[in-house]
Structure 1
């Protein structure tokens, strides 16, 4: 049985229909919501009418857009298998990707556990006896810690956006410990930043980019740059207590087997006098639901510093790897904000995962 046949058989066994989404997609949703690393890798083009388009770099956003456009009912699960396209300095630029998106299930603990379990079972069929390693992170726990520590809202937002990027998080923590000296941006932009006029800053930057011949879609948008400049100006004046900073570092150092993680997190909360009950209750319910799946041949570890620097992740994030390849074979997580950001009229919870078929094929070779 080929890998593709194995995956399609798994989808059929779960009675999940395959979603069909076009290869050519509107670029703006990816440019607005994807992480900076993915934005740099997108293949961009334009339609005859000047609309920015791209070759799909992943499936989650297209599947969610299609669900909204069809006004489909929920809960509903979608499977997919097809090519995605990303620029790389070395190697290929198109890859086979498969996955499952689970939309509208209000029992989030059950849906989260099912998503992880589906990914593990798919890998166990494709790579029997591989010895899977599952890393679990939680955006909601991290954000609850930031709020309980009493950090200013601006710092909570910056740290939440950096969560999952070691470099971004380290830079943010360094600035939090000792805010950087103010930079002289020159006139007139420094005056606009000082006035906290985001629209004016973005407009000024857009004009400067046009003069320099830089496409606003080539990287960060003018509005994104404006937001960051104003945010840096606001954050530079903030000082936090040493005990709050030490508590944050202690939290990020937590790495435990998932079965012990709930107890460790409660001990941390008690020691630091932090109220995290709601977030911890959700965490423990998910851990119990995952244990009830009785998954064999996989080890589960909670890493408090593991996440993804994307605005729409809201809770669970996970990766699965095997000893044969240090790169993740599967990545997934909960994205309850995504469908609203894409235009849904009401909030729709979602969780899902993607499988990198080329990596699995490499691991299957003797």
Structure 2
């Protein structure tokens, strides 16, 4: 009965997405693992169910809908395009040594909406759509912008290799913090003495020499100055109602000019949302929002969370993923900006459903 009720809520959300002009699609449940591993790295194995097919090779139970929907659009779609879907996703949940009191489901419904368009108002359109559907639940809306953070990292006076390492780990806050601390300290030279022994190992001598050269070059790097560490820390810590956060970001632009474009875009998005009748004072802006989600968001991010349920995941999440769409469109020579999000009908059910 409960499962049927969650499906009914999912169908109601799906109807709202269709009313917004979306075409309903049904991506496969079993997906080739290769693409997902290339996009997210081996870390995805810790969260996904992987199996071996004697013909198709390594396969993965669908961990989310975005990748197969983007692939489908790049192969067949025109632009602009809107898609919606409803179905199960499958994620492993790491319980650690003791299972939590309220464990998350390993299989749960997602209702989603994806918009492929070059319209600068696409961010506000998707956010407003989710805001309207979820309005009866009184959820807390939070917004962020990963491009804001990435532009700040790209502005750091570091070598390309060090900036690339920080960007790679920006979605892993603890690793990012350790790297930033290491890049801010003096590095001791490393001595790689030559040994007369015969070479053995999985890597070739040329590969190992290239690795040694990189480590020696890294040791010669100038440490990142404390003022840049401070600027980055203050940027990542911005949390306030959206209009007040915008003021704080405007002040930081004076110290980090490279974030000006992202701040301008945030101001346009907030103005667009206000024109759509949304009270932007009630939107919480968190500069680090999105750093704990899947690694394809590279612009605006958003979530809607239920007050009093800190142990729950967000009821809805979404954001912009232009780079993912560009990567998956390379084979067809196509690229189009994209933004979308998902709602969890199961959590909507727990909150009493939609009016």
TM bucket, shorter chain: 0.7 to 0.9
- Per the TM alignment, residue 55 of structure 1 is displaced from its structure 2 partner at its CA by 1.2
Q: 1:355 aligns with which of 343, 347, 355?
A: 343
CA change 1:93–1:278 in 2 (3 A) is closer
Q: How many residues align?
A: 326
Q: 2:84 aligns with which of 63, 79, 82?
A: 79
User: Does 2:55 align with 1:49?
Assistant: yes
Contact between 1:131 and 1:297, CA under 8 Å: does it hold in 2?
no
- Per the TM alignment, residue 325 of structure 1 is displaced from its structure 2 partner at its CA by 2.4
User: Does 2:323 align with 1:337?
Assistant: yes
CA change 1:250–1:348 in 2 (3 A) is same
CA change 1:289–1:86 in 2 (3 A) is same
CA change 1:3–1:341 in 2 (3 A) is same
CA change 1:280–1:182 in 2 (3 A) is same
Q: Please provide the CA RMSD for this pair.
A: 3.0
Q: 1:246 aligns with which of 216, 219, 230?
A: 230
* TM-score in terms of structure 1 length: 0.78
Contact between 2:187 and 2:220, CA under 8 Å: does it hold in 1?
no
SS of residue in 2 equivalent to 1:319: strand
CA change 1:236–1:119 in 2 (3 A) is farther
* TM-score in terms of structure 2 length: 0.81
Structure-2 residue corresponding to 1:201: none
Structure-2 residue corresponding to 1:263: 247
CA change 1:275–1:21 in 2 (3 A) is closer
CA change 1:183–1:266 in 2 (3 A) is same
Gaps of 5+ in 2: 96-102, 194-198
Q: 2:124 aligns with which of 92, 97, 113?
A: 113
CA change 1:9–1:50 in 2 (3 A) is closer
User: Does 2:210 align with 1:196?
Assistant: yes
Contact between 1:255 and 1:303, CA under 8 Å: does it hold in 2?
yes
Gaps of 5+ in 1: 198-228
Structure-2 residue corresponding to 1:17: 23
Structure-2 residue corresponding to 1:60: 66
Deviates more, 1:172-181 or 1:88-97: 172-181
Q: 2:158 aligns with which of 151, 154, 158?
A: 151
User: Does 2:286 align with 1:303?
Assistant: yes
- Per the TM alignment, residue 305 of structure 1 is displaced from its structure 2 partner at its CA by 2.1
- Per the TM alignment, residue 292 of structure 1 is displaced from its structure 2 partner at its CA by 1.9
SS of residue in 2 equivalent to 1:20: coil
